[in-house]
Structure formats: C-alpha cells, structure tokens
Amino acid sequence: MSQEFLLDFTNSRTSEFSLLRTRHSEFQEITLSMWLRTTDSTNMGTPISYAAMKPADNAASGSSPGSLVDNTLTVTDCASLRIYVNGVTIFTDVAINNGRWTSLVFTWRGAGGEWHLYVNGTEANSGATLRTEAIPGQGVFVLGQEQDSIGGAFNTRETYLGEIYKLNIWDHVLPEDAIQALAHSCHRERGNVVAWPDFLAGLQGDLQPKGSPIDMEIPSCEEHTPDHRYNK
Ligand SMILES: [Ca+2]
C-alpha cells in the first residue's frame, strides 16, 4: 500500500482516530518521523500517543498483569511541543502550529536517554531524559488522541486538529543522512515498527484517507535532496 495519503483531523471529537496495536517487544531506541500541518493554538493537540503495560517484576509467575505506563511515548501541543517518554515530559519549546507542512523527526536512545528533535531536517532541540529504561512493547498507538488508558480515555482538549502525513516509527536511531532524507516529501522509507499505511486498518469515526495534494508546499526531491536515490 502506498504511503501517499494524509489524514485530516477537523474537529475535537474523541470519536475520530486510528488505533494500531503493536506486537513489537520493548524498545531500546526509537525514531519517530511524521509530517504535520496545523494552526491549532488552543488544544493540547496530540498527533500520536502510545500506551503500554509495564511488565510486572514477577511476570514470570503470571499472577500480575503489570501496570500502565501513562504517556509511554506521546507527542502533544503543537504550539510548544511536549514529548513524553516513559511518562517523563520533554519540553522542547518548539512551535509548529504555523499552518505549513512541517517534518518532525524525534530520536531517543534508552542507553543514556539521549534525544534529538529535528524540524524540517534541522536539529531544533536535544537533551537526555532522566530515566533510561526501555519503552514497554506490545502496546497501542493512537493517531489524533491522547490515551489515559490503553486505547482509550481520550479527552477533547487533547484531540489533534490538523493533518498528518507519513508517520513512521523505527526501533532504532536512524543515521543522520536517513534522518535528513525524511524531511523531503519523496522519501519512501517505512518504519519497521509502524509504517504509515498500517494506520488505514484502524480508522475510526469519519476519518478517511485523502490523497496527498500536489500543492503540499513541502520540499521537492530535486530542490533539496542531491542524493541520487531520490532523483527521478
Ligand atoms: Ca495520557
């Protein structure tokens, strides 16, 4: 299935989202890439949230189901981006609610907790999270809503308002040149944890895929990517 579609979240209803359950085991590293276009300045709009259960210490006994790690991996508030990893808030001080298509790439390494945020291919902020444990696996990704329980407990004030295009997630930190390539409209890479078309099967409410417009106002391959792989 082609990646050439976008999802447009046009209202604050909690009934419109896409839900995707992963069977992937825990994540030691993450690369999250997506294109967003939004003007929202009032909602704590959440393009993507991930919720998972932390395995119980005595999971081997099978007697305990473990506990929910709220905000296991979540991106929210496009007026001043906050990214959560294992419940820890990263305040990036990056605003992207300017009504233009914006490429966001977030990388995180469990070992050391180092994270980087790239906006349109340029590093906008970086740091280290305090906790360095792995992100629990076998959880639920939700586009457009913020989960407070696994796959639910959404809040209208945290609904994403705007468009999402080509959201992909990898279980490792991509090399610098690959991160750069993600900031160009023609990239064809697919995440090995989540590939953009995976979300089509979990669409809820009135949310329907739209063809990606040719006037997306995002950098063309020829202008910005000398790499021969991306030239037609
Ligand atoms: Ca939450």
- Nearest CA to 101 out of 162, 37, 10, 164 is that of 37
Find the 146 Cα to ligand 1 centroid distance in Å.
6
> Which residues, by Cβ under 5 Å, contact ligand 1, an ion?
70-71, 148
Mapped onto helix, strand or coil, the DSSP state of residue 41 is: coil
- Ordered mean pLDDT values, 10 residues apiece, the chain (232 residues): 88 94 95 96 95 74 70 95 94 95 95 94 90 89 96 94 96 94 82 96 93 61 43 34
If you measure from the C-alpha of residue 22 to the centroid of ligand 1, how many angstroms do you get, rounded to a whole number? 18
Please report how many Cα atoms fall inside a 13 Å half-sphere around the Cα of residue 113, on the Cβ side: 13
pLDDT value at position 4? Answer: 84
Token pair for 33: 């890439």
Question: Could you give the CA distance from residue 167 to residue 50 in angstroms, rounded to a whole number?
Answer: 13
pLDDT of residue 159: 96
Res 229: pLDDT: 40
Q: How much is the pLDDT for 66?
A: 77
| Residue 111 main-chain phi, psi, to 5 deg | -75, 105
Contacts of 229 (CB under 8 A, 6+ apart): 181
d(CA 71, ligand 1 centre) in Å: 5
The predicted structure's pLDDT at residue 133: 85
Query: pLDDT at position 84, please?
Result: 95
